[in-house]
Amino acid sequence: MSEAILPTRVALVGNPNSGKTALFNALTGARQKVANYPGVTVERKEGVVTTPGGLRVSVLDLPGTYSLRARSPDEVVTRDVVLGRFTGEATPDILVCVADATNLRLVLRLALELKAVGQPMLLVLNMFDIAQRQGIRIDLEGLSRELGVPVVTTVAVRKRGLDDLLGQVDVLAALDRTHVASVWHEPSAAEIRQAHRDAERIMRAHVKPPLRPDTFTGKLDGVLLHPVAGTLILMLILFLMFQAVFSWATPLMDGIDAGFAWLGQVVAAYVPDGLLRSFLSDGLIAGVGSVVVFLPQILILFFFIILLEDFGYMARAAFLMDRLMGVAGLHGRAFIPLLSSFACAIPGIMSARVIDNKRDRLTTIMVAPLTTCSARIPVYTLVISAFIPNRTVWGFASLQGLVMFGLYAAGISSALIVAFVIRKLIWRSATEPFLIELPAYKVPDPKNVARGVLMRGQMFLKRAGTTIASMMVLIWFLSSFPSAPAGATQPAIDYSFAGMLGHLLQPLMAPIGFTWQMAVALIPGMAAREVAVGALGTVYAVAAQDDTGSLAATLSHQWPLATALSFLAWYVFAPQCMSTLAVVRRETASWRWPLIMFAYMLALAYAAAFIVYHAAVAMGA
Amino acid sequence: MASVRLSDLGKGDRGLVKGIAPEGHEGPGEIGHDELERRLLEMGFVEGAQFQIIQEGLVGRDPIALKLDDMRVALRRRDARAVLVERAA
């Protein structure tokens, strides 16, 4: 009875925007595993669910596609898994074709293609409540008869129809599985036309057009896609997003700050003065605390990105930005990876897989780390709060928020300029067609948004808890050993390994106004940008004679303004993220691109910091 | 009624898709006619489909957003050249 151990494998396949992921979440709840497919960095989402018949089913959420004729790495995964060609991935026992019940035409063609694969199949009409509200009448029995597969209706966000769906999985799983060979092959243009005609005939026979069509999407697009109004609204949304990241997060961050300070005091009260106390409070608690404190900002940013995505706005943003991207030689679709890179370059680089053309994709990958990722937020916030007065300008905007906005603008414009240089001067060729669906607007489901935001938060904390914490311990070690000799006149860190290293690098960094402490902080900062904040904290907390002032206050005494501005300019470009370089290596399957990326970003960072430092000094800062 | 190219139409224009006839797109690193035709077909630009242009981009009135049967799509004029349409009065 070895089969009893192996769960029945169900794969969800569907068009993008069909609510496939919402259905996956509704089916599997918290029992999900997110990983990568071996060898490629396409996200693999799997969950487990038990059917009414007691069958244990593993559900695989495959990347969305319009056809099995794969054009991007994501779609290649979908095709190969469906066809059982994917090494290390068993062929799904049952294919579940997920359709947006309000938009059946294209998915019917996909369903016909999936049928040719020969596996037992089930058609799910998701968002059925919206279809009913619009008065779309679907003859389910007729549709099922015509396609030769069971048809069920669901409302994933209300968890409706899930038992029906799983009941049909029971039925299909119980069928005698006489193997039907796949007759799928890549369709020619003529075959796609024929499939369209078949789908059209099925539509006409079994689906009556809506009595109350969705006029909301049309009305909203009248404004949101409008060349002037729409662009202004997009700018406003981005502006609000960054103001929110800055101001909403403050109380939460203060709370986290206070929590870690309290923890440090508790340690100080119970642990005797010495190496252990220094390790716990200066190394571990201060280090981890200075990273965790940025969790609220990261959550707020992802909240906006996921909300806009689920609302259906991201495709509109791509439409509005296509021309701008085109100027830089990029594709409107590159806007989404670049926008994701505002959160983190890693998912941004990974989402560049939606770009089919290899050169477009490589260019997008190469410039993605220039957009301001959330790991820079800690560095920017720290320096801004230390050096930029907290004033209101023009009656409504905070000066600190404006400087932040300026840094973001510097990031995105440098990304576009570098893309332009690559695409128009180095690799001159026409760009890929820009052809995207503008999905109907939908009210985002709070639970799905919350799940997405929490998942991102967990990923960040996991990084803070592992990589960053261990780097913090390393820097604490480097800055505590060897300890100062008896009768030392300088702060202890001056005698440590970190001090030696910092002094060694200092001559290189002097032309851009960096102190040796900054040079020290840049070394562990190679692991991830935000580590530099923790590192500065450690370096200065260890070096400081009185332990009272916060890091920002310490810095504002220790650095001239020109140095602070130079440090900000450095961080607009600095390639300090091992994970990004590692992901680029994985995505491009060569060390060439990460090395080029590292070199060009380092050169830009040095040049920018040099210019800013000397300009600031010349202006008397 | 003579066919025109979708790329020659403006906001508010409506009509029927008559066929796909790609031009260009054959340069180095480009996808070629056959691939462009299949992509347009897969996105619903199939003979007989009804369309209406709902918006145009800010610069050079590019790209264009259109209602195509029950769905909405956006594409660049350069790619829209491949779509032959019959304009409704």
**How high is the pLDDT of residue A547?**
45
Question: Please, are residues B69 and A105 in contact by the beta-carbon 8 Å criterion?
Answer: yes
A–B CB contacts, 8 A cutoff, strictly below: 129
Q: Which of A216, A212, A217 is nearest to A134 (CA)?
A: A212
Per-range mean pLDDT, top range of A247-251, A278-282, A441-445: A441-445
- Choose between A610 and A388: higher pLDDT: A610
Kindly state the tokens that stand for B88.
Answer: 């409704």
pLDDT at B71 over 50: yes
Question: Given pLDDT bands bounded at 50, 70 and 90, which one contains residue A90?
Answer: confident
Q: Is residue A593 part of a domain?
A: no
Q: Averaged over A411-439, what is the pLDDT? A: 84
Residues of A in contact with B22 (CB under 8 A): none
Q: Is residue A226 part of a domain?
A: no
* Phi, psi dihedrals of residue A599, rounded to the nearest 5°: -65, -45
Kindly state the tokens that stand for A161.
Answer: 């129809």
Tell me the average pLDDT of chain B. 89
A288-344: per-residue pLDDT in tens? 776 677 678 778 877 888 888 889 898 898 899 888 888 888 877 788 778 778 777
Q: Is residue A580 part of a domain?
A: no
CA distance A311 to chain B (A): 15
Beta-bridge partner residues of B19: B84
pLDDT at B6 over 80: yes
Q: Is residue A308 part of a domain?
A: no
Q: Which of A260, A236, A172, A324 is nearest to A472 (CA)?
A: A260
Q: Is residue A115 part of a domain?
A: yes
Q: Is residue A232 part of a domain?
A: no
Q: Averaged over B40-59, what is the pLDDT? A: 93
Q: Averaged over A489-502, what is the pLDDT? A: 74
Q: Does any CB of chain A come closer than 8 Å to the CB of residue B33?
A: no
- A 191-230 near B (Cβ less than 8 A): 192-193, 196, 200, 209, 217-218, 221-222, 225-228, 230
Q: Does any CB of chain A come closer than 8 Å to the CB of residue B10?
A: no
For chain A, percent of residues with pLDDT exceeding 90: 33
Instruction: Say yes or no for a CB contact (<8 Å) between A429 and B28.
Output: yes
Find the CB nearest B79 among A200, A315, A433.
A433
Question: Which CATH number is A118's domain given?
Answer: 3.40.50.300
How far is A115 from A204, CA to CA, in rounded Å?
A: 20
Instruction: Say yes or no for a CB contact (<8 Å) between B72 and A438.
Output: yes
CA dihedral A379, A383, A385, A391 (to 10 degrees): -120
CA distance B1 to chain A (A): 23
Per-range mean pLDDT, top range of A7-16, A319-328, A337-346, B24-33: A7-16
- Choose between A132 and A390: higher pLDDT: A132
pTM of the model as a whole: 0.79
The interface pTM score, or ipTM, of the predicted complex is 0.95
| DSSP category for residue A8 | E
Residue boundaries of the structural domains of chain B: 4-87
Which CATH code fits B4-87?
2.30.30.90
pLDDT at A431 over 70: no
A560-600: per-residue pLDDT in tens? 889 999 999 999 998 777 777 877 887 787 889 989 999 99
The total of structural domains in chain A comes to 1
Burial class (CB in 10 A: 0-12, 13-18, 19+), A178: exposed
Instruction: Say yes or no for a CB contact (<8 Å) between A434 and B56.
Output: no
**How high is the pLDDT of residue A548?**
44
pLDDT at A363 over 70: yes
Q: Is residue A82 part of a domain?
A: yes
Instruction: List the single residue in A with minimal CA-CA distance to B21.
Output: A189
Q: Is residue A503 part of a domain?
A: no
Find the CB nearest B58 among A189, A228, A436.
A228
**How high is the pLDDT of residue A179?**
65
Question: Please, are residues A68 and A107 in contact by the beta-carbon 8 Å criterion?
Answer: no
Instruction: Say yes or no for a CB contact (<8 Å) between A227 and B58.
Output: yes
pLDDT at A101 over 90: yes
- Choose between A158 and A241: higher pLDDT: A158
pLDDT at A387 over 60: yes
Instruction: Say yes or no for a CB contact (<8 Å) between B40 and A221.
Output: no
**How high is the pLDDT of residue A408?**
86
Q: Does any CB of chain B come closer than 8 Å to the CB of residue A424?
A: no
pLDDT at B19 over 50: yes
Q: Residue A313: which H helix or E strand, with range?
A: helix A313-327
**How high is the pLDDT of residue A3?**
45
**How high is the pLDDT of residue B59?**
85
A46-71: per-residue pLDDT in tens? 999 999 999 999 999 998 899 998 87
Interface test with B, best of A323, A331, A422, A428 (most B CBs within 10 A): A323
How far is B15 from A78, CA to CA, in rounded Å?
A: 35
- Residue A126 structural domain: 2-208
- Choose between A605 and A29: higher pLDDT: A605
How far is A545 from A170, CA to CA, in rounded Å?
A: 70
A161-215: per-residue pLDDT in tens? 999 999 999 999 888 666 677 888 889 999 999 999 999 999 999 999 888 888 8
